[in-house]
Amino acid sequence: MAVEVGVDVAVLKSEIQKTYTSVSEEPGRDFIFPTGRAWAEDLGYPEELATVPELAVESFAGIANPWKLGRLAAGERVLDLGSGAGTDSLIAAQMVGPEGHVTGIDMTPAMVAKARAAAAEIGAANVEFIEAEAERLPFADESFDVVISNGVIDLIPDKDAVFSELNRVLEPGGRLQIADITIQQPVSDESRRNIDLWTG
């Protein structure tokens, strides 16, 4: 499907999946973006990071620290949009406790599998990971109190679809805690067509 952003969305998604399958399966590789536990520590991640298994954190690929916007309360229902290997979801699961629930969604199957394995490793019973696209969330209206996300929406051309879905699945008065890239200048058509700039 060619959309007005000037990039074939199906091709872009396939390239993004290739990139993040590699982050999942070859975490020791040198990517053009920082990854791993040392990066999360540099970002000032909260103390709950210490108990997130290496299996998840070795494939952490966030771009900033959504926890600077605040902690979660016990009992909250949380959606982690583009949960990757599960680092933020497993931190959220500790914050919301057994009365709360965390749902991570991601469109890259290798990431979802890795996040599930990491949750199983620590017996986290209040978190689940689902393969899904941010533009079409498989949840009922008003299912969540909070949405967290780290480094995901910048990868998605149809941002209106994403925010429309977030507005739909959040409770009225719900919160967004998003770490992402914003730009202050228009992006040239040539740059928009460059898939490497999207995936990186």
Ligand X SMILES: C[S@@+](CC[C@H](N)C(=O)[O-])C[C@H]1O[C@@H](n2cnc3c(N)ncnc32)[C@H](O)[C@@H]1O
Interface positions with ligand X (CB under 6 A): 16, 20, 60-62, 82-84, 87-88, 106-108, 111, 133-135, 150-152, 155-156
- Nearer of residues 51 and 99 to ligand X, judged by Cβ: 51
Q: How far is the CB of 174 from ligand X (least distance, A)?
A: 19
Chain centroid to CA 115: 11
Q: How far is the CB of 188 from ligand X (least distance, A)?
A: 22
Round to the nearest angstrom and report the end-to-end CA distance of the chain. Answer: 21
Rg of the chain, C-alpha, whole Å: 16
Q: How far is the CB of 20 from ligand X (least distance, A)?
A: 4
| Cβ-proximal residue to ligand X, closest one | 84
Residue 32's SS3 state is coil
Distance CA 93, CA 116 (A): 13
- Nearer of residues 75 and 163 to ligand X, judged by Cβ: 163
| Of 95, 131, 134, nearest in space to 114 by CA | 131
- Nearer of residues 150 and 177 to ligand X, judged by Cβ: 150
Q: How far is the CB of 191 from ligand X (least distance, A)?
A: 18
Chain centroid to CA 158: 16
